[in-house]
Amino acid sequence: MSKHHISTTINGEPVEFLCDTAQTLLDVLRDELGLTGSKEGCGSGDCGACSVLVEGRLVCACLVLAAEVDRCAVETIEGVAQGNALHPLQQVFLNEAALQCGICTPGIIVAAKALLEKNPDPDEEEIRFWLAGNLCRCTGYDKIVRAVQQAALVMRSA
């Protein structure tokens, strides 16, 4: 069976790749394109470690077939920082110790960024429910929630 030829935009850059029908977007990002910032924690859409945006919509890359992103814009953790300049979420996560092992961090930053673009001033409950699809086993979420609030403040003041 021949592979699919997919043309897409990833983090603003045009990208073409070939994939099998069964390959997920996560497989292609990690194994074919070398974008290993999106992590595979479960492969079933339960942990959120592979959170990416497809056409601005927050999805688990493990639940999207690679062939589905033809002519779509995909944003991953690798596109969050602008060159060497960290996004406020990234800087605040570092400053406030809002990560430990860090395996969930890329997904959480992608998801939180999507939230703040939708709602620049979310309350604690909104943050907790928005991030309920992103498992973190290290932090107990306390510092993550606080970091998202603080990053929101930084972004509003910018």
Partner 1 sequence: MGRYPAGSPGWRDKVTGQANYGADFSLPGMITGRVLRSPHAHARIVSIDTTEAGKLAGVRAVVTAADFPDLPSEVVAGGESPVNYRYISCNAIARDKVLYEGHAVAAVAAISAGVAEQALKLIRVEYEVLPHVIDVRDAMRDDAPLLHDNLYTEGVDPKPTKPSNIAKRTEFLLGDPAAGFAESEIILERSYTTQPVHQGYIEPHACVASVAADGMTTVWSSSQGQFMVREFCAKLLKIADSDIRVLPAEIGGGFGGKTTVYLEPLAIALSRKSGRPVKMVMSREEVFKASGPTSGGVLQVKLGARRDGTLVAAECELAYQAGAFPGSPAIPGCMTAFACYDIPNARTVGYDVVSNRPKCAAYRAPGAPMAAFAVESALDELALELGMDPVELRLKNAAKEGTRALYGPKMPVIGFVETLEAARAHAHYNTPLKANQGRGIASGFWFNIGGQSSAAVHINEDGTAEVVTGNPDIGGSRASMAIMAAEVLGIDYAKVKPLIGDTASVGYCFLTGGSRVTFATGKAVVEAANDVVQQLRARAAKIWKCEVDEVIWKDGVAHPAQGQTDTRTQLSLAEIAASAARTGGPISGKASLNVGGAGPGFGTHLCDVEVDPETGRVTVLRYTVIQDVGRAIHPGYVEGQMQGGAAQGIGWALNEEYVYDDQGRLQNSGFLDYRMPVASDLPMIDAVLVEVPNPAHPFGVRGVGEVPIVPPLAAVANAVARASGVRVNDLPISPPRLLAALMK
User: Mask 17-56, x = binds partner 1 (CB under 8 A)?
Assistant: ---x-x-------x----xxxxxxxxxx-xx-x-------
Q: Is 153 in the site for partner 1 (CB under 8 A)?
A: no
How far apart, in whole angstroms, are the C-alpha atoms of residue 148 and residue 157? 14
The region of 53-61, 70-78, 115-123, 150-158 touching partner 1 under the rule CB under 8 A is: 70-78
The angle formed by the CA atoms of residues 58, 135 and 157, to the nearest 5 degrees, is: 60
Q: Is 74 in the site for partner 1 (CB under 8 A)?
A: no
Q: Looking at beta carbons, which pairs linking 51-55 to residues 24 or more positions away fall under 8 Å?
A: 51/106, 51/107, 51/108, 51/110, 51/111, 51/133, 51/134, 52/25, 52/76, 52/77, 52/110, 53/110, 53/114, 54/25
Rounded least distance, CB 107 to partner 1, Å: 9
Q: Tokens 């492969």 label which residue? A: 43
Q: Is 122 in the site for partner 1 (CB under 8 A)?
A: no
Q: Is 117 in the site for partner 1 (CB under 8 A)?
A: no
Q: Does residue 112 contact residue 89 with C-beta atoms inside 8 Å?
A: yes
User: Mask 75-114, x = binds partner 1 (CB under 8 A)?
Assistant: -xxx-xx----x--xx--xxxxx-xxxxxxxx--x-----
Residues of this chain that interact with partner 1 (CB under 8 A) are 20, 22, 30, 35-44, 46-47, 49, 76-78, 80-81, 86, 89-90, 93-97, 99-106, 109, 124-125, 127-129, 131-146
